[in-house]
């Protein structure tokens, strides 16, 4: 289910080289427990196969490099227990976090990544 980001990019959009996460997710990312992030359109322009630098949102502290594996559109209603497991939380927790970060937004993107070796 890999979706090339090129189809999501406009002529004026450059694929980002950096990504931020709330600090509470750092450990889960570093241990491989969190392997996706769900973002809105404004943060969906990652290029599949690219390396991005991950840092904490709160203080912009770098903590690892990630490889972008896929970028796939999703509606909040279609989020599953599988997505929640990839986020290292329950589906109820995932939907709550998404609602807090993106209130009223239903069309999002699943960005799958792995820690760059």
Instruction: Give, in order, the Cα–Cα distances in Å from 100 to each of 12, 47, 95, 97.
Output: 29, 26, 9, 5
From the candidates 20, 34, 35, 112, give the one annotated as an active-site residue.
34
Task: Answer yes or no: 34 catalytic.
Answer: yes
Q: Which of 37, 51, 93, 106 is catalytic?
A: 37
Q: How far is CA 98 from the centre of its chain?
A: 11
CATH of the domain at 33: 2.30.130.30
Number of neighbouring beta carbons within 10 Å of residue 37: 21
Q: Of these residues, 10, 31, 35, 87, which one is catalytic?
A: 87
- pLDDT per residue as tens digits for the range 71-117: 999 999 999 999 999 999 999 999 999 999 999 999 999 999 999 86
Q: What's the pTM? A: 0.86
Beta bridge partners of 36: 112
Domain count, the chain: 1
**Rounded Cα gap, residues 74 and 68, in angstroms:** 17
Q: Which domain holds residue 67?
A: 5-115
Quick: pLDDT tens for 7-58.
Answer: 444 445 678 899 999 999 999 999 999 999 999 999 999 999 999 999 999 9
């Amino acid at each position: 289910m890999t979706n090339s980001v090129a189809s999501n990019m406009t002529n004026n959009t450059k694929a980002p080289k950096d990504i931020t996460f709330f600090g509470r997710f750092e450990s889960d990312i570093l241990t491989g427990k969190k392997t996706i992030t769900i973002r809105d359109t404004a943060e969906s322009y990652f290029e599949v196969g690219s390396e991005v630098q991950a840092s904490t949102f709160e203080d912009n502290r770098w903590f690892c490099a990630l490889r972008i594996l896929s970028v796939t559109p999703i509606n909040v209603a279609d989020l599953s227990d599988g997505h929640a497991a990839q986020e290292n939380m329950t589906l109820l927790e995932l939907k709550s976090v998404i609602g807090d970060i993106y209130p009223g937004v239903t069309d999002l993107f699943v960005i799958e990544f792995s820690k760059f070796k």
